[in-house]
Amino acid sequence: MQRIATTRCAAPRWAGMHGTPDMVVDSGSSDPDLAAETDTGVGNYFVANYPPFSQWSKGGVPEAMAALDRPGDPGTDLGLYFHIPFCRKRCHFCYFRVYTDRNAARINDYLDAMIEEMRLYAACPVTAGRAPRFIYFGGGTPSYLSVEQLARLTAGLQRHMDWTGAEEITFECEPGTLNRRKLQAIRDFGVTRLSLGVENFDDTVLKANNRAHLSNEVHAAYTDARAVGFPQINIDLIAGMIGETDDNWQRCVRRTIELAPDSVTIYQMEVPYNTTLSQQITTEAEPVSIADWKTKRRWVDEAFKSLEDGGYHIGSAYTAVRRAPSAPFVYRDALWSGADMLGLGVASFSHVAGTHFQNEHETDPYELSLGQGRLPIHRALTMTSEQQLIRQFVLQLKLGEVHKQAFFDRFGIDVCDYFETPLAHLEAQGMMRRGAATVRLTRKGLLRIDALLPHFFEAEHRGVRYA
């Protein structure tokens, strides 16, 4: 059991920060005071990890290598993340590491590099005797790959680490890249959770945001995916895209419910730095219509209520599930509970035994490292016990409820005592309630969760650049 000394947190302050479930490019941080119902400005909001990515450094890489060189904990889940950084187009709001100009030969070179990376990880003591519980193919656009490239990649990866016993394999898709043959191939190599990046059902809104697909491709892809028989299909929506209106949002929610996906993920639109949209706003080239935070929260709240009326259960600040007992999201739940995860691919990040690390941010140095037989780790950070506690607490708050006993069992502390100052502050604002066994967010708090989380950060990490 890992125990830490109990101290009170410093007085909180508002901060909006952002990271991603796969990798971070060059984002900054802003302070959209969501309590003040502000407009959507340029900056980051979504919190994906802790400590902030900007605190990871090249000097920490030896610690990452040392973590990989130690035997792994057989009681800790292991997952694999594969970053496929290719897209047909770059969305105006996209800040991921993606490429839209790579030919088949360049893509195959990248896939071969990922296979080599898997070989190197499979030889590390940390993976010995451990089978991955979850797999995640993210992007970019994993479904951008051809059937032949998918076969090449998955066969190559599994030569070095078998995942046939994985509980969940998630695969992200852009609807316009799919057809029945490709969907059947994706299902055949074991995918259990297909995630469709729909975002909106209106062609005018999709075009305004430079999405690659149109609404007719959404319907075709969903129909084919159901016919192929994926155990779970998720639909992504974004509240507050360029040009979105009340009427449009209500139609999107109704259409989603009509399709009856197993789960729905809804994000609130933000404008990170290093996006074409942020450049447009900061240069004031032309007016951009993006809903303010008050409107986006209202839209998500309306969607959640409609989904609940349609038989869904709200499973986190971003998700609703139609069949809660049989539609889990293992990747999210395991990662937010301290699982080890190896992220393969350019700019992907990993977490192993309390150490964070991230790969090279561009394909040339990434592939060069692997060509020389070296893991392409670019920066890293080993967390203190307190940072591990904070990371797990803030990520699990996104689920809407934290169970105190789990933290006592792992860290030997009562989180209500440890975080008493920020919890009392947020409870007084109606954001959450403390009970005998849980800390539970209200709907008001759930809709603002990423603005609340920096209250729990260490003082030196509040307001710093996130990535």
pLDDT exceeds cutoff 50 at 1: no
pLDDT exceeds cutoff 80 at 77: yes
The amino acid that residue 334 corresponds to is A
Residue 327's alpha-carbon distances to 8, 230, 319, 427, in angstroms, are: 38, 12, 11, 31
Q: What is the per-residue pLDDT for 41? A: 63
**Percent of the chain surpassing pLDDT 90:** 76
Q: What is the arithmetic mean of pLDDT over 206-215?
A: 90
Burial of 181 (0-12, 13-18, 19+ CB in 10 A): exposed
Q: Each residue of 142-197: pLDDT tens digit?
A: 999 999 999 999 999 999 999 999 999 999 999 999 999 999 999 999 999 999 99
Burial of 243 (0-12, 13-18, 19+ CB in 10 A): middle
Q: Each residue of 212-269: pLDDT tens digit?
A: 999 999 999 999 999 999 999 999 999 998 899 999 999 999 999 999 999 999 999 8
Longest dimension (CA), the chain: 59
Q: Each residue of 132-146: pLDDT tens digit?
A: 999 999 999 999 999
Nearest to 235 by CA among 302, 322, 308, 166: 322
Q: What is the arithmetic mean of pLDDT over 322-342?
A: 87
Q: Which CATH number among 3.20.20.70, 3.40.50.720, 2.60.40.730, 3.40.50.300 corresponds to the domain 59-334?
A: 3.20.20.70
| Contacting residues for 266 by C-beta, under 8 A, at least 6 apart | 236, 237, 238, 239, 300, 303, 304, 318, 319, 320
Q: What is the per-residue pLDDT for 217? A: 96
Q: Each residue of 441-465: pLDDT tens digit?
A: 999 999 999 999 999 999 999 888 7
Q: Residue for token digits 């292991």?
A: 78
Q: Using 50, 70 and 90 to split pLDDT, how confident is the model at 23? A: very low
- Assigned token pair, 145: 């790959």
More confident residue, 238 or 42: 238
- Burial string for 323-352 (b: 16+ CB within 10 Å, else e) reads eeeebbbbbbbbbbebbbbbbbbbbbbbbb
Backbone angle region of 260, left / alpha / beta, with phi > 0 → left and psi within -120 to 50 → alpha: left
- Assigned token pair, 109: 């070179």
**Percent of the chain surpassing pLDDT 70:** 88
Q: What is the per-residue pLDDT for 314? A: 95
Which strands, in side-by-side order, build the sheet including 401-403?
401-403, 438-441, 432-434
Q: Using 50, 70 and 90 to split pLDDT, how confident is the model at 4? A: very low
- Assigned token pair, 177: 């890249």
The amino acid that residue 183 corresponds to is L
